[in-house]
Structure 1
């Protein structure tokens, strides 16, 4: 793993090292970690402590990408600052090994496109996702039977912004990933309104359905998802699960098959970029195709 500046590093290590790990969590050991952060306080002020904690879990701390890839047959990019992920991915993809990229994929939509484009060009199995996509309730097909055909959905959750990055990339991804898990891809346009209390993003899908994300800035900040179906409205409320995400990472590392496509992940990041652009335009509707074309250059 490369990064060492986020709580995900020791948390994921503990899950993969657990003697009781079963199924797709079993059979792995985190063997090496490379500290690599940025000047953002969330990275700069935490990398030493998380590196120390991870070393105490039996992970060898190395000082170069070459040493990292030599010791590893699967790779994880876990740096908290998405702005350095593309640089890291370029170095790791050269090794030809499967790579999981923690959220956010990168620091801009253009960098997200570049990262996935490079993976495709080199034939590198690669995926990125929020853990909210894989919670026990949302992956249980029972809600689909209860709701019937999905007509729309509303998700919500805590929201915080990180300077220098698109506002929704760092924390908004959790609720927005849950929204897309319910709705599926196909969002065409986005509008956004922000107040001191809530950050509201409304997406219109190509088939006329509407999906809404509400970022909670004040007051109680639970995670939640309401799915409006032909038969009923189903409420799913569950916190992000590291274990659920690591199960998917383990399955991906064993099979080489990403659990979410590059196309859908890039649509999610286009949704968030279009939301930023809508805010800059006073809440006007912004087409995802517009921001994708601009990012592609």
Structure 2
């Protein structure tokens, strides 16, 4: 979709600001016209509630809230107040355990809601969230920012890919099972390249997780526990191999934000619901496979 300069910028609200995405989104949108991503601007935010057992939230939320406020965004007392003031909502809370509850509170406003990277921790939560969205006419938006980067999109061609090999940082956080924290980025890329319908997840042996589709296509995921900014991949198909490298940072987020603006304008999800559910199911199955020591078959 081409940005319509005559349309007023969409008013976005941040829900939970304990992630660096909160100030980054605010800066990239800017005034909605001259920013790196035109078409939207952040006009309100709710700080959120940090869990005591989650250091990334507990230790950063005050600083990020102040940074967002210093950028001119008013802080509201409830997520509902943000929803009333805005055209669309961005759930950027870093603790994925909060996502289902926040989404349930926001969906009744009938406005688009993006849930940042980790849509939900369980398939049951994801199904309830999507069903709730349907009841209230709320457009659910999702996806790792890495799937929207030009580096990945140039390499990935779903009609041609038969194997994807992905390597990236795999740090973990309290309350988030294996692959549920940073590993979800790799799962998202695998599903973006090969489509929904993964049939088998094997994280039982070695340092790599293997995903298998019913037609024999596969994806392998792996990396180090220590965080690094680089994610690399190799997409194999009949036309040969295509490699890509993604570097984390604010520029990586522009494709995602553009997809969100376009989705809000068009009224169509930026990630199909089948893919959203598949990503959550794969992460859930990978944890079961790792803890049981056996592959897991998905329904």
The TM-score normalised by the length of structure 1 is: 0.88
Partner of 2:298: 288
Q: Deviation per CA, 1:161-207, whole angstroms, max 9, x where unpaired? A: 11112221210011221122222222101101466xxx411011010
Counterparts of residues 141-290 of structure 1 (less than 5 Å): 144=157, 149-193=160-204, 199-217=207-225, 222-240=230-248, 241-282=252-293, 284-289=294-299
| Alignment match, 1:127 | 141
Q: Which position in structure 2 is the counterpart of 1:86?
A: 100
RMSD: 2.0
Deviation at 1:148, TM superposition (A): 7.7
Structure 2 residue runs of 5 or longer lacking an equivalent are 1-13
CA gap of 1:266–1:73, structure 2 versus 1, over 3 A, is same
Moved over 6 A (4+): none
Q: Distance in 1 between matches of 2:117 and 2:160?
A: 29
Q: Paired residues, what number? A: 280
Change in CA separation of 1:221 and 1:125 when aligned onto 2, cut-off 3 Å: closer
CA distance in 1, matches of 2:69, 2:102: 21
Q: How far apart, CA to CA, are the structure 2 residues paired with 1:102 and 1:148? A: 27
Q: Deviations over 1:127-150 (max 9, x none)?
A: 11001111112223x764xx9822
* Structure 1 unpaired stretches of 5+: 290-297
Matched, 1:36 2:44: no
Who is 1:50 aligned against?
64
Give CA deviations for 1:185-239 in whole Å, capped at 9, x if unaligned: 22101101466xxx41101101011111113226977311111111211111122
Alpha carbons 1:192, 1:275 under 8 Å: kept: yes
- Paired residues of 1:38 and 1:84 also in contact (CA < 8 A): no
Residue number among 113, 118, 129 corresponding to 2:127 in the alignment: 113
**1:77 Cα deviation from its structure 2 partner:** 0.8
Match of 2:19 in 1: 6
Deviation at 1:107, TM superposition (A): 3.0
State the alpha-carbon separation in 2 of the partners of residues 31 and 5 from structure 1: 17
Alpha-carbon distance in 1 for matches of 2:257, 2:85: 20
Is 1:150–1:182's contact at 8 Å kept on the other side of the alignment? Answer: yes
What do the CA deviations read for 1:238-272 (whole angstroms, capped 9, x no partner)?
A: 22411111111111222221121111111011111
- TM-score in terms of structure 2 length: 0.87
Over 3 Å counting, the alpha-carbon distance change for 1:55 and 1:285 in structure 2 is: same
